Chains A and B, each alone.
Chain A
Amino acid sequence: MREKNIMLLHYITGILILVAGGIHLSTVFLLSPYEESMKFDSSPLAVMSVYRNVLLAGSLEALLILVAFHGFNGLRVILQELHQGKTYKKAVSLAVTIVALALVVYGTRTILIAHQLANL
């Protein structure tokens, strides 16, 4: 992808994170007291209650993918500005992509299993 399109995607994901992150922070802090949100279950917005709800679990999945892209693209931009070189550039891009993908896979596993576990 051309750098211009990547940067546009960086901005779009940034704006979308405002929405998905806003939902995430609201469920943890605003819509229920923090101690209640941190309980495993047995509270309307406890950990398992959030994963049980398809929309909330889906918004977490969206947040996971958005932050993985936005965060690691940001890291890539910083690292590629610190030092120049064709091999270095490729190595940074590859490393950042692998770590971001690994996090998305692991996080998706958590969300999928937690959603099924909560709905047993």
Chain B
Amino acid sequence: MPFRYGLERWSYTLQRVSGVAITLFFVAHIVQTGNVVGGASVWSIPPYELAKKVWTETEAFLANPLFDLGLSVLGFLIFFHAFNGVRLVLAHFGIILKKPSRPEYPYRPGSMSQAQRALFWVTIVLAVAALVYALDVFFEVLRL
């Protein structure tokens, strides 16, 4: 945990952790959705009923509060990664950055301008909104 560092280190850590988590989910998701046609052994058009049966079984297996919770957290991570990624692309091309200058006390990095900090927090708000929305969809708490 980057407690001794600034906001940009949190942004960096979260971006990498969320990226790896989303990639792992992506692998699982491709394997899971392979079941809409009947699974990994199917390489030509299967009987409709077989595909439907395998898909229904897959959905029954995944209908589990743990998976729902995992997907909700993933919603947070995906939204964070997406919007923080936009901020990083902007920063990479020098948009909304401070002008380069000598390091002077209190050594605030030019890469984290006011606008960049604001964007970081907007990203967090959007990610939390995605988390709340996902929890509501899966657990029907607020029924938005």
Contacts and interface: CB of A to CB of B under 8 A. Distances in A.
Given A38-B59, A74-B19, A107 B33 contact: yes
Most buried by A among B36, B45, B82, B92: B36
B46 A113 contact: yes
Interface stretch (B3-11, B50-58, B102-110, B114-122): B50-58
Contacts of B31: 106
Interface of B is mostly: helix
A88 interface: no
B99 to A, nearest CB: 23
A72 B23 contact: yes
Given A40-B56, A47-B55, A71-B19, A120 B45 contact: yes
Chain A: number of interface residues, binned into ranges? 20 to 34
A71 B23 contact: yes
B26 interface: yes
A62 B77 CA distance: 21
A78 B20 CA distance: 9
B42 to A, nearest CB: 7
B43 interface: yes
A103 B59 CA distance: 21
B46 A106 contact: no
A109 B45 CA distance: 10
Interface string A35-62: 0001011000001100100000000000
Contact of A110 (B36, B45, B48, B56): B36
A28 to B, nearest CB: 10
Contact of B30 (A21, A64, A117): A64
A68 to B, nearest CB: 8
B16 A71 contact: no
B40 interface: yes
Given A47-B36, A71-B26, A11 B89 contact: yes
B85 interface: yes
Contacts of A110: 30, 33-34, 36-37
28 contacts: A11-B89, A14-B85, A14-B89, A15-B89, A17-B82, A40-B36, A40-B52, A47-B36, A67-B26, A71-B19, A71-B22, A71-B26, A72-B23, A74-B23, A107-B30, A107-B33, A109-B34, A109-B37, A110-B30, A110-B37, A113-B42, A113-B46, A114-B36, A116-B45, A117-B46, A117-B48, A117-B51, A120-B45
